Chain A
Amino acid sequence: MQKLKTLLQDFSHRKIFWPLVAIAVVLLINLIITPSFFRIEIKNGHLFGSLIDILNRATPLIIMAIGMTLVIATGGIDISVGSIVAISGAIAATLIQTMPVPLAIVITLIAAIICGMWNGMLVSGIGIQPMIATLILMTVGRGVAQLITNGQIITINNNVYSFIGTGYLLGLPFAVFIAAAVILVIFFLTRKTAMGLFIESVGGNSISSKYAGIKAKRIIFQVYVICGICTGIAGLIISSNIKSADANNAGLWMELDAILATVIGGTSMSGGRFYIGGTVAGALFIQSLTTTIYSLGVPPETILVVKAVVIILVCLSQSNEFRSLLSGIANQRQKKVIKA
């Protein structure tokens, strides 16, 4: 019993604890309002249900947020991800009209890598502040995407390509497998090689890291590239899911969600320690919140307020100061009760 308690206590100190609690609360609200919410049935040979939907919908955000997490861990930020989503969607949609899907995908990913390299070069090479460096690509990127699509929405009629975003494998959405693969690869890269240590070290203190022999600039460059690739993959999933490339709106404001997911997951905006699990939980939380809002029939003009309140509450619950304030008040109450 005691052991279980300490185990629980230990877990509640983990960064992933609070986002998971938040998800649980959101899902519970759903369950109360729509009792069938947790039902998962098999339809047309694949799993089907709200939970699966959330999982499926969250994949692009999860993938992007993971890339963003690494960038934030180095003390940077990448606000160009929304535009990179648009670019990769546009390129893929244009290319598959004339070439085989795998080749188109490869070229798209190369383009995403180039975007990442561009950001990385501006930040680590020229030394421009990350937010401004990526602001440039944020502006230019959407322009480039529109240039590619000529400002029109390109509809994709390619079953192979649309499998990425809408297909099912072993009863689960294929995109979930992609996300799982990305999570695994990044997890392997950061926790089974020294990459993660280096990223955290550079984010924690880049001068010390340099003195210790870490090539800080190179690490910073690399995380922007990784972020580029992740975003490129997310762009592919998004465009394939709606079977079209929308240069104007694809990924619009997604950078904010990605940053939010990262921070809710426990990674600090000032760099240093990062938590991939936390980020995934954060992204899932954001998506379940969004889906909940849609299915609960919240009037669209109130969505923002609801979102704001939830975000602030979640972050308050993560704040030690707030919790100690609460427990302080609770203690006082108790004392008063005892006195009375």
Chain B
Amino acid sequence: MKKKFHISQNNITIIATILLFFLLFLFGSVTYKGFFSPQVFLNLFIDNAYLITIATGLSFVIITGGIDLSVGALVALVSMISADLLNKGVHPVLVIVLVLILGIVFGAFQGTLICKFKIHPWIVTLGGMFLARGTAYLISTDSIVITDELFNNISKFKIPVFGKSYVSVSVVIALIVVMIAVYISKYTEFGRSIYAIGGGEQSALLMGLPVEQTKILVYVFCSFCTALGGLMFTFYMLSGYALHCNGMEMDAIAGCVVGGILLTGGYGYVIGPLFGVLSMGVIQTIIMFQGTLSSWWTKIAIGFLLLIFITLQRVIVIQKERNKTVIKTQRKTQKTQHNAQSIG
């Protein structure tokens, strides 16, 4: 990214998020014993690697102005299918490949319904959610333990970072996914088309962009990331279970939004979900370190922290936007003068 860095409408939310993320971490560090440690920080990545991957995929969909509610259920399905196949003695590498292909097919199916038949993504992916979880139930209603060696090894593999602290394999994959996503969103035609579609689907169409194809691809990408995230989740859990990640789609969406992606489409950076998810992870860690809240107070506290977070974010954004208009218009005045002179 050689472009000069400047605060704009596009990146202000994400900057606010990053700022608030570190503030929260600081808050946790001074409040709780044992909070300020490299491993606690890295645990944020380890525990949320799958969510980061999924939220990043989802952010593409949201930027086009769509939504995917099926991600949580798809993770459950992926874990279930992997566990079932592994139990049946299928080679783990083949399982991984199959599951990723499943993600692609699933995304293509949803994307086709949404784009070709113009059914609203909310409904299609709600259907997709029922379908995925339902299929997982059909495989088994019990949870299935994964005993496969490869899966176990990946699950237990620790990549040292500094000192004794470590990250898991999934963290590395997640970060690579984020990097690829950032690259796609910024340096490929496909990535830019996504923003164009989010800015105005009709306009994008009239500008001669392959809207339908792009949108289907976006859903494919999202489901692929979800399948990949599902695999990470399976490594993390080492089990397949139809109830895995119940309601996780909300976490993923919230991660995107907190990371500065506008649900109406068109605005936001795909690096955002990374920080969005991490911020929510910090909130959760703080609550866990707190350790005296009863169940309901936990809910209330999470909601309350989320509220403060989002409100602060809004305040920062509004504040910046206000300053912004003044600066911009001043600059424009000079140009207008230029125009006028060329007439006179």
Contacts and interface: CB of A to CB of B under 8 A. Distances in A.
Instruction: Answer yes or no: A and B touching, Cβ < 8 Å.
Output: yes
Interface of A: 79, 122, 126-133, 135-140, 142-147, 151, 256, 259-260, 263-264, 268-270, 301-309, 311-312, 315-316, 318-322, 325
B298 A143 contact: yes
Interface residues of B, number: 45
B58 interface: no
Chain B, interface SS category: helix
A134 B296 CA distance: 18
Chain A, interface SS category: helix
Contacts of A128: 310-311, 314
Contact of B295 (A122, A126, A146, A315): A146
Given A139-B303, A144-B296, A322-B117, A312 B127 contact: yes
B169 interface: no
Contacts of A320: 118
Contacts, number: 138
Contacts of A306: 134
A304 B133 contact: yes
Nearest to B128: A308
Contacts of A126: 311, 314
Nearest to B299: A143
Contact of B138 (A138, A259, A260, A301): A301
Interface centre among B123, B300, B302 (most CB of A within 10 A): B123
Contacts of B294: 151
A143 B131 contact: no
Interface string B121-143: 01110111111011101100100
Contacts of B116: 321
A217 to B, nearest CB: 14
B322 to A, nearest CB: 13
B122 A259 contact: yes
Interface in B125-174: 126-131, 133-135, 137-138, 141
A86 B128 CA distance: 27
Contacts of A139: 299-300, 302-303, 306
Contacts of A142: 296, 299
Contacts of A131: 253, 257, 263
Interface string B80-124: 000000000000000000000000000000000100111110111
Given A143-B303, A312-B124, A135 B297 contact: no
B304 interface: yes
Given A140-B303, A302-B138, A308-B127, A316 B117 contact: yes
Given A142-B299, A143-B296, A319 B138 contact: no
A132 B314 contact: no
A143 B119 contact: no
B282 interface: no
Given A135-B250, A147-B297, A305-B138, 9 more contacts: A129-B257, A132-B253, A138-B303, A144-B296, A144-B300, A308-B128, A311-B130, A312-B131, A316-B117
A114 B116 CA distance: 42
11 contacts: A127-B318, A137-B303, A139-B303, A143-B296, A144-B296, A146-B296, A151-B296, A301-B137, A304-B131, A305-B131, A321-B118
